[in-house]
Amino acid sequence: MAIEGDLAQMGAFLGAGLASVGMGGAAIGVGNVVGNYLSGALRNPAAAAGQTATMFIGIAFAEALGIFSFLVALLLMFAV
């Protein structure tokens, strides 16, 4: 039981670590959203203020998928 349990736990931990890599994708996505917003805002600063809310919505959507990988990691760590 001990060895199998350890093996299963090791697998779960490895999986959790791998799932965390997915959050890097979310980070890239969020960076993309903000970077594009900023480059647009610098070109047309007058229109920037009105689009801040849209940027945050975009960030939230990009982040949502990273949250799933976080969720998977949590589930592997604590629930499996």
Partner 1 sequence: MATETNGAATEHAQGMPQLDFSTFPNQIFWLLVTLVVIYFVMSRVALPRIASVLAERHGAIQSDLDKAEQMKAKAVEAEAAYNKALVDARAEAQAIVEATRAEIQKDVDVAMAKADAEIAAKSAESEAAIKEIRDSAMSAIEEVANDTAEAIVAKVMPAAADKAAVKAAVSARLKG
Partner 2 sequence: MAIESDAVEQELELAIHPMDQFLVKPLFGGGHGDIGMFTITNATLWLGITVLCAIALMVLGTRGRAIVPSRSQSIAEVIYVFIYKMVEDITGKDGLKYFPYIFSLFIFILVANVVGLLPASFTTTSHIAVTATLALIVFVAVTVLGFVKNGTAFLSLFWVSAAPLALRPILALIEVISYFVRPVSHSIRLAGNMMAGHAVIKVFAGFAVVTFISPAAIGAIVAIYALETLVVCIQAYVFTILTCVYLKDALHPSH
Regarding 34 and contact with partner 1 (CB under 8 A), the answer is no
CB of 65 to partner 2, least distance (A): 8
Q: Which of residues 15-74 bind partner 2 (CB under 8 A)?
A: 53, 56-57, 59-60, 63-64, 67-68, 70-71
Is residue 78 within the footprint of partner 1 (CB under 8 A)? yes
Q: Choosing among partner 2, partner 1, none, which partner's interface includes residue 34 (Cβ < 5 to 8 Å by kind)?
A: none
Rounded CA gap, 39 and 56, in Å?
A: 16
76's tokens: 């592997």
Cα distances (Å, whole numbers) of residue 58 to 20, 24, 29, 50: 21, 17, 9, 14
